[in-house]
Structure 1
Amino acid sequence: MATKLTPMMEQYLEIKSRHSDELLFFRLGDFYELFNEDALIASRELNITLTGRPTGNEERTPMCGVPFHAAESYIETLVKKGYKVAICEQLEDPKAVKGIVKRDVIQVITPGTVMTENGNDARSNNFLALFYMVKEAWILVFSDVSTGEVIWDRVSQDNISQIYDSLSMYRPAEIIIPEGTNLPQPIIDFLQNQFNNVVLSPFSSFECASDASRLANNHFQDMGLMEEDVLAALGFMLLYLQDVIKTEIAHINYVHQMDVGNRLILDTSSLRHLEITHNLRDGGVKGTLLDVLDRTLTPMGARLLKQWLESPLTDISTIQRRQAAVAELISRNGERCEIQSYLDCIYDFERIVGRIETGSVSPRDFTSLRESLQVLPHIKQLLKEFSGLSLTSINERINNHADIYDLLNRAIAEQPALTLKDGRVIRDGYNEELDELRSLATNSEVWLQKLEDKAKEETGLKLKTKYNKVFGYFFEVSKAQIDKVPAYFIRKQTTVNAERYITPDLKEFEIKILSAKEKIIALEQQLYQDLRNQIKGVIKRVQETARALAELDVLASLATVAYESNYICPNIVMNGQINIRDGRHPVIEKFLKREVFVPNDVLLNHDDDEFMLITGPNMAGKSTYMRQVAILMIMAQIGSFIPAREATISPVDRVFTRVGASDDISTGQSTFMVEMKEVAYILENATSKSLIILDEIGRGTSTFDGLSIAQAVVEHICKHIHAKTLFATHYHELIPLEDVYPRLKNYTVAVKEKGKDIAFLRRIIRGGADRSYGIHVAKLAGLPAQVLKRAEVILESLEEQNPDTDDLNNRVMTAESTIKYAKPSIDTDGFSNLFTHSVVDSLLAIDVNTMTPIEALNAIHQLQVEARNGGGK
């Protein structure tokens, strides 16, 4: 015989059937309860006790719960783990309802729509993505619901690598898939392999594409002309957000296209290899370029700096405007420091206004907004001293919002309670009725005494004020005075020795005092809502101020780092030249403790120095040098100063990197396969305006296969792409290519040898290397002495037994013409590889025994001049 479920469980199951993909937080009194499978998941993920409840089933239903006033932290934990949470609230007052209380879901919180203060990393965006398929293209939409920003792009369906790049840059926490759209399996695999807890959210809507377009057109009223399919994609995103957030979303109003044409594209591989915003070790910020440059003081600024680094500029005028702003902030060090002291007082009000719009704003959010607005006049006053276009534009975009500040100052208590239900959120003096109710609640004895004194004075009676649960407050009059009781006294009870009366004033007081607390809460909520509605009307202006402050914060951060680290302003040109003198790696330089970073030059152009072929041993600094060049380009193209003595830089359209060994276990791809795929992508997408960084191409296979692939790649870039390229290799057989391709130049890492000991000087110089110093590197790595000795014996034996070694350096390896590979002759004795032979010859010809002191000084000066000229100084 089937058992009958309890009315509460029937209600729960009906609501749960509409939210099967979410964990349902079902409000029961002072707790949110979860049942069945939801309870099992929540108990495991939150480490809370699992209990049971009789609900009409034969067995007790699994149940667990959390207090409603502390639910936010539990919900945030679940959302960060990739779950969706539906909040089911009581829609009626249980005290006023007989039977089951009406309940329904008032909000669904997902990884891409979380709005709570601690639900997101304050210094990073939390993007939600939408994929919408149209004909032969994808419309990609990325939205940070907490800040109101929306970015869209159109991508050809066969350009899957661009989709990967966009996903790597925005790193969405959730992806919406409208009905009728199917994500290709490679994209799903990429998401699962690259991101933790990303949520795929299929979305069915009753609205058609044309209705979605109209919704977007009405919502984003000032975005100009836009294609219908883009409007439809934006509309479906809005429909999803309305369905999930279930409140107004007018704060989502900053929509723009991903500006591919005017930005430097950093693909997935380059973002990872160069460690721009996430390190390879644990995916954190420590040890990244962002870590070095981030001296921002506001969460808005931190998020914007991250966006700048992941999407540098190619437009020279915009880069130069940023440079001018950084330079002016450096030159006015005192004003900059004062501006930053005020920026340090500003909270994340870009996200606060989002919570105001959606109704999740807390009292502390209002105080944070008030304190932020308080310093704006000081910042604007300081910015008047600056004349650069960027800084004057920022000052114009910052609004004092004096009306909002005045409203918040009058309305919100100095230190309000954490939640509205705790009371004392609205400031005393803001509302007369609220002040009276509070006075009643806190001074009831005083008020009661005043009423008693008034009654005594008017009647001449000797009476007492008393209270009981049956009659409430009353005046007690002795029977001897009954004849003097006035007519407006209403008898309520007779006792042996006295009569008890109420008066209209006393009854009014009783009603007020007994309902004061409830009225205070209700009135505070009403005033709070009125305050929220007043601010909602100006949210767009406040958001514009927040974005202007973010830009100011980033520019000040770049200026601070440049000032403290002795960076210089690179000269931005359009002639295709990259000429950096004494460049330094900003990240390594920062974390070096006991050593001085060795600076290096780089010269790349489309005339005679298009391709740098770099040979030399491991651990000598080749990879660091190449990464350094790419990182300095990225810094220059966001408008930052760079660590160098001087620099002239032409912006590049893309930076491609293939650096370091890595495999992809999840897809079964070997290190060599990953390497070849990355090289194939580079060769397919690079242009003459690109910068290519390639490290040890071909090392994952046999010597001859690897050498053949490496040379073929070099030749293809030199003959067909003409990108500015840095190519590090152990294949010394490639050195003679310099004689075939006039724009290819050999470089190596300077090494000092003394017997069997070596020292890497970490200086990149012209020429090629004839050895890899592998055993020396093994010694530095700490291999046991017996292993090293045995390796030397084996090496000598192999060199003696391999008569083809020298032939390998003289064989023909091109399909079109013969290239004679002569073993390079590089003098590595002592320091001579750092200078020209003429300097050495001049030094040897000097007879120091016959020279006067002044002649010796002149000779040293002349040698120094020759050494500088030879070393590129």
Structure 2
Amino acid sequence: MAISYTPMLEQYREVKSRHTNEILFFRLGDFYEMFFEDAEIASREMEITLTSRDGGQNTRVPMCGVPYHAADNYIAKLINKGYKVAICEQVEDPKQAKGIVRREVVKIITPGTILAESLLPDKANNYLALLHEEADELCLAAADISTGECVWATFSGSSRANTVCDQLYRLLPAELVLAGKLGDLPTINSFLAQRVSTCTITTLSNADLTLVSELPSKHFVQQELPSSTVAQAAVGYLLYYLHYTLKSDLSHINKLARVNTQDYLILDASTLRNLEITRNMRDGGRKDTLLAVLDFTKTAMGGRLLKKWLEFPLLNPLTISKRQDAIADLLDKRAVRESLKELLNNIYDFERILTRIEVGSANARDLTALKTSLAVLPEIKIRLQECHAEQLAGISIEARTHVDVANMIETAIADNPPLGVRDGGIIRTGYDLELDELRSIARDSKEWIQDLELRERETTGIKSLKIGYNKVFGYYIEVTHANTGAVPPNYVRKQTLVNAERYITPELKDFETKVLGAQEKIINIEYQLFVVIRDYIKERISEIQQTARQIAQLDVIISLSEAAARYNYIRPNLNHSRELIIKDGRHPVVERLLSGEMFVPNDTELNHRDSEIMIITGPNMAGKSTYMRQVALLTIMAQIGSFIPAREASICPIDRIFTRVGASDDLATGQSTFMVEMTEAAQIIKFATTNSLIILDEIGRGTSTFDGMSIARSVVEYIKDKVKAKTLFATHYHELTELAESSKVIKNYSVAVKERGNDIVFLRRIIPGGADKSYGIHVAQLAGLPKRIIERAQQILHELEQCKANSDLIPPTTKQQNNKHTALATVSLFSSSIADELLNIDVMTLTPLEALNTLYRLQNKAREESGML
């Protein structure tokens, strides 16, 4: 038999039936309550008490709740654990409701649709991304609803999944929505699990296709819409999901931009990670990254834009030069720069404030923050008039002052308003006549009560008479039992207490009606006035957003000029001769981490005449990797328009930077170190052009020495003959230095080392010529291996060197005979079945564990056949 619940619970169940995938926060008075399974989940995840409530028919249902004013913190816990939350509010006045108060879900909060200021990172975007595939075209659309940004891109061909993953690494979306089935989903899922593990994946189903097709043209001008119908559908699905969750018209999402890789230096996810440009490899944070070194921004808007500039360096020399001019202008005008920095300190994140105004969640403090931000704009424009760079002049023109908005907020909103928009005290005295009159009544009520109390004492002669108030009975006159005989006839008994009686009079009742009505009217009028002001600003959101973008741009330019001033950076020249020349370059991050010692600078010259490939040899820890990363980072800095740490430089814009750095197993996909290495190398070979920069560090070390050396040499030769990209190639294979003897575009370099007896000192200088030693034992000694191990290693090394020397004395014909006998002996070790099995193994796809198992099995088989078992 079905249970008949109370009317309130039946209402809850009806709403919940439409939101089965979300935890329902059901508003009851000053609390959000959860019931049934939602209560059990929420109490566990939010670590709050699980209780129960009468459900009707002698049943009790699980229940938990949180205060509405503290809900953001609890919601954050659920969102961070991958849950979604539907907020169900009372949508009618309880005093006017007939029966149970009507309630509706007013918004759905997901990881990608968070708007609460306390839950968003200040200097990072919070993207919601969507993928849609149709007719072999994979489309990505993404939006940060907290700022109104919206972008799209399309991908095709066999590498589209990898390219999508590169974009997802840049966006670092909090949520990825899948609109339909994706053929490349396993690849994307694997990438997200490894690199963007905090991303929540949502599947969009049962979308209203009419709305999907209509929404793009309602938000964006025709010129911004994708020509591709598939891409336009992806944008439509994204907008549909945002409207479904936020339940607002989202007019602040009004500008659509295409991510066009032809306009930017392409940095794939591997390169972004290896170079630690915006996130470090240790914990994904910004500490010890290029972003952290360059970030002197004063606003959250500028901080977010600087990150975008670093992840999307420019290709167009003219655009780069304009940024350089702006940085140089502010670098020369220190007083102007310092003044602008002080002014920017007063600017709040009004990009996100505008969004809260749009969706109706802004409070009076948001408006005062917007007013404070807008108030400094006239002074910023005045200071910019002292600058001459074209980009700074453009910012001054494009950034408006919005005096009308600032003046309205100043006139209407109190200086220190409360957080709640229905708490009263948000409208300034003098703004509204009716409101002032009601406030006067409320303010004077205390004095009126005191006067009435004195009059009644004199009239009745009851000296202990007093007037009080409580929420149940309202205002009352209290008289002790000993004095009730002196109570006049117009007193009406209201309540009897142990020691006194309480009365009301017509005069007191009229006053109560007037005062209590005034308080309620004050709150209602203030809220209505606030909504009018908010709507006035809402109509101007688009133009204020444009100003916010200009302020963010100014903040980044000031930040880069500040970095140049503090760290002694220089302006790199831009050349058209396809050269990369750096004199006394320094690693921008490493030099900031050094304490008590100077960073050793190094030169770099790469061109397509006589120095296309630099082969760099030298021991571990000597600085090869730091040097190569340094060259890549300085190139990126130059192409965002930044000045760089060097004595002088001339750089031709690079179209792509590739890095093959480090070695580790990819456990998530079961790929071995060598497989990861080869896969990345294959990607480089496939996509690099003559205008690219390639960084290869120790390629081929994941397999046997001869295999690795063969592959490394073959890769270098292919790059030289086919790709012709500027390349830095660090290796321990000293044999590769022979390549320079047969090619004019390959140059050998090594890291200078100074020997002091059995000790060595790394000089950190890159010098012409190859290294003649590996210094591996010295490095082991520096790493702290026991002395006994070091001495034994030196003994073994001496013996091996003697064997090699003796081998060199053997005549060539004898060597050939010995090699032949050795080869025959080696072949005879294996039966034909073992040899066949070895030949059929695909070594490139074996994981480390599979390789060990295979080797163990073949070893046992060989022992059996040789009679050893």
Report the TM-score, using the length of structure 2 for normalisation. Answer: 0.86
SS of equivalent to 1:694: strand
Aligned positions of 1:40-55 closer than 5 A: 40-55=40-55
- Structure 2 vs 1, CA of residues 513 and 624 (structure 1 numbering), >3 Å: closer, same or farther? same
1:618 and 1:80 map into 2 onto residues whose CA distance is 41
Does residue 708 of the first structure (1) align with residue 710 of the second (2)?
A: yes
Post-superposition CA distance 1:62-110 (Å, at most 9, x none): 3221111110121123223322110011223334445433222111011
| Partner residue, 1:588 | 590
SS of equivalent to 2:208: coil
Post-superposition CA distance 1:36-61 (Å, at most 9, x none): 33223322322222223342588743
| Partner residue, 2:75 | 75
Q: Is contact 1:471-1:492 (8 Å) kept? A: no
Amino acid at match of 2:150: V
Among 733, 753, 756, the alignment partner of 1:754 is 756
Aligned positions of 1:807-818 closer than 5 A: none
- Structure 2 vs 1, CA of residues 414 and 769 (structure 1 numbering), >3 Å: closer, same or farther? same
Give the Å deviation of 1:303: 0.1
Amino acid at match of 1:269: S
1:186 and 1:422 map into 2 onto residues whose CA distance is 52
| Partner residue, 2:238 | 237
Give the Å deviation of 1:366: 1.1
| Partner residue, 1:640 | 642
2:566 and 2:560 map into 1 onto residues whose CA distance is 10
Amino acid at match of 1:373: L
Q: Is contact 2:658-2:694 (8 Å) kept? A: yes
Does residue 220 of the first structure (1) align with residue 204 of the second (2)?
A: no
Q: Is contact 1:751-1:758 (8 Å) kept? A: yes
| Partner residue, 1:31 | 31
Give the Å deviation of 1:433: 1.4
| Partner residue, 1:603 | 605
| Partner residue, 2:699 | 697
- Structure 2 vs 1, CA of residues 127 and 249 (structure 1 numbering), >3 Å: closer, same or farther? same
1:430 and 1:62 map into 2 onto residues whose CA distance is 49
2:728 and 2:260 map into 1 onto residues whose CA distance is 27
Q: Is contact 2:474-2:512 (8 Å) kept? A: no
Q: Is contact 1:620-1:760 (8 Å) kept? A: yes
- Structure 2 vs 1, CA of residues 183 and 695 (structure 1 numbering), >3 Å: closer, same or farther? closer
Q: Is contact 2:177-2:203 (8 Å) kept? A: yes
2:492 and 2:66 map into 1 onto residues whose CA distance is 48
Post-superposition CA distance 1:352-406 (Å, at most 9, x none): 0000000111222111111111111110100011111100000111111100000
- Structure 2 vs 1, CA of residues 115 and 183 (structure 1 numbering), >3 Å: closer, same or farther? farther
- Structure 2 vs 1, CA of residues 38 and 448 (structure 1 numbering), >3 Å: closer, same or farther? closer
2:626 and 2:492 map into 1 onto residues whose CA distance is 95
| Partner residue, 2:523 | 521
SS of equivalent to 1:422: coil
2:36 and 2:353 map into 1 onto residues whose CA distance is 36
- Structure 2 vs 1, CA of residues 61 and 741 (structure 1 numbering), >3 Å: closer, same or farther? farther
Amino acid at match of 1:609: S
| Partner residue, 1:371 | 372
| Partner residue, 1:763 | 765
Aligned positions of 1:769-780 closer than 5 A: 769-780=771-782
Amino acid at match of 1:374: A
Post-superposition CA distance 1:509-532 (Å, at most 9, x none): 543312122212211111111111
Give the Å deviation of 1:232: 2.3
Among 740, 748, 757, the alignment partner of 1:738 is 740
Q: Is contact 1:76-1:118 (8 Å) kept? A: no
Amino acid at match of 1:192: A
Q: Is contact 1:223-1:255 (8 Å) kept? A: no
| Partner residue, 2:821 | none
Give the Å deviation of 1:240: 1.1
2:200 and 2:513 map into 1 onto residues whose CA distance is 53
Does residue 114 of the first structure (1) align with residue 114 of the second (2)?
A: yes
Amino acid at match of 1:271: L
Report the TM-score, using the length of structure 1 for normalisation. Answer: 0.85
Percent identity of paired positions between Structure 1 and Structure 2: 52
Aligned positions of 1:119-268 closer than 5 A: 119-156=119-156, 158=158, 159-179=160-180, 184-208=185-209, 211-221=211-221, 223-224=223-224, 226-227=226-227, 228-268=229-269
| Partner residue, 1:86 | 86
1:198 and 1:392 map into 2 onto residues whose CA distance is 40
- Structure 2 vs 1, CA of residues 792 and 89 (structure 1 numbering), >3 Å: closer, same or farther? same
2:157 and 2:54 map into 1 onto residues whose CA distance is 54
| Partner residue, 2:686 | 684
| Partner residue, 1:437 | 438
Amino acid at match of 2:268: D
Among 649, 652, 655, the alignment partner of 1:650 is 652
Give the Å deviation of 1:656: 0.2
Q: Is contact 1:212-1:231 (8 Å) kept? A: no
After TM superposition, the structure 1 stretch with the greater mean CA deviation from structure 2, 415-424 or 197-206, is 197-206
Give the Å deviation of 1:725: 0.2
Q: Is contact 2:142-2:238 (8 Å) kept? A: no
After TM superposition, the structure 1 stretch with the greater mean CA deviation from structure 2, 10-19 or 299-308, is 10-19
Structure 2, unaligned runs of 5 or more: 456-464, 478-488, 495-502, 814-869
Post-superposition CA distance 1:152-197 (Å, at most 9, x none): 1111153221101100111111112224656621112211222233
- Structure 2 vs 1, CA of residues 155 and 561 (structure 1 numbering), >3 Å: closer, same or farther? same
Give the Å deviation of 1:199: 1.5
2:430 and 2:726 map into 1 onto residues whose CA distance is 69
Amino acid at match of 1:68: Y
SS of equivalent to 2:535: helix
Q: Is contact 1:473-1:510 (8 Å) kept? A: no
1:188 and 1:467 map into 2 onto residues whose CA distance is 67
SS of equivalent to 1:719: helix
SS of equivalent to 1:666: coil
Q: Is contact 1:473-1:502 (8 Å) kept? A: no
| Partner residue, 1:414 | 415
Q: Aligned residue pairs: how many?
A: 782
Post-superposition CA distance 1:658-679 (Å, at most 9, x none): 1112222222222222111111
Structure 1, unaligned runs of 5 or more: 455-463, 475-489, 812-873
Among 610, 614, 638, the alignment partner of 1:612 is 614
1:494 and 1:736 map into 2 onto residues whose CA distance is 112
Q: Is contact 2:207-2:240 (8 Å) kept? A: no
- Structure 2 vs 1, CA of residues 3 and 691 (structure 1 numbering), >3 Å: closer, same or farther? same
SS of equivalent to 2:261: coil
| Partner residue, 1:815 | none
- Structure 2 vs 1, CA of residues 183 and 101 (structure 1 numbering), >3 Å: closer, same or farther? farther
Q: Is contact 1:3-1:58 (8 Å) kept? A: no
- Structure 2 vs 1, CA of residues 434 and 807 (structure 1 numbering), >3 Å: closer, same or farther? farther
2:236 and 2:454 map into 1 onto residues whose CA distance is 68
Give the Å deviation of 1:493: 6.8
- Structure 2 vs 1, CA of residues 314 and 11 (structure 1 numbering), >3 Å: closer, same or farther? same
| Partner residue, 2:542 | 540
2:276 and 2:618 map into 1 onto residues whose CA distance is 24
After TM superposition, the structure 1 stretch with the greater mean CA deviation from structure 2, 294-303 or 81-90, is 81-90
Give the Å deviation of 1:466: 7.9
Does residue 796 of the first structure (1) align with residue 798 of the second (2)?
A: yes
1:449 and 1:769 map into 2 onto residues whose CA distance is 97
| Partner residue, 1:859 | none
Q: Is contact 2:30-2:68 (8 Å) kept? A: yes
2:571 and 2:300 map into 1 onto residues whose CA distance is 26
Does residue 105 of the first structure (1) align with residue 105 of the second (2)?
A: yes
Q: Is contact 1:749-1:761 (8 Å) kept? A: yes
| Partner residue, 1:829 | none
After TM superposition, the structure 1 stretch with the greater mean CA deviation from structure 2, 88-97 or 733-742, is 88-97
Give the Å deviation of 1:224: 4.4
Does residue 20 of the first structure (1) align with residue 20 of the second (2)?
A: yes
| Partner residue, 2:391 | 390
Does residue 319 of the first structure (1) align with residue 315 of the second (2)?
A: no
CA RMSD of aligned residues (A): 2.8
Q: Is contact 1:179-1:205 (8 Å) kept? A: no
2:474 and 2:266 map into 1 onto residues whose CA distance is 79
1:306 and 1:368 map into 2 onto residues whose CA distance is 24
1:161 and 1:314 map into 2 onto residues whose CA distance is 22
| Partner residue, 1:823 | none
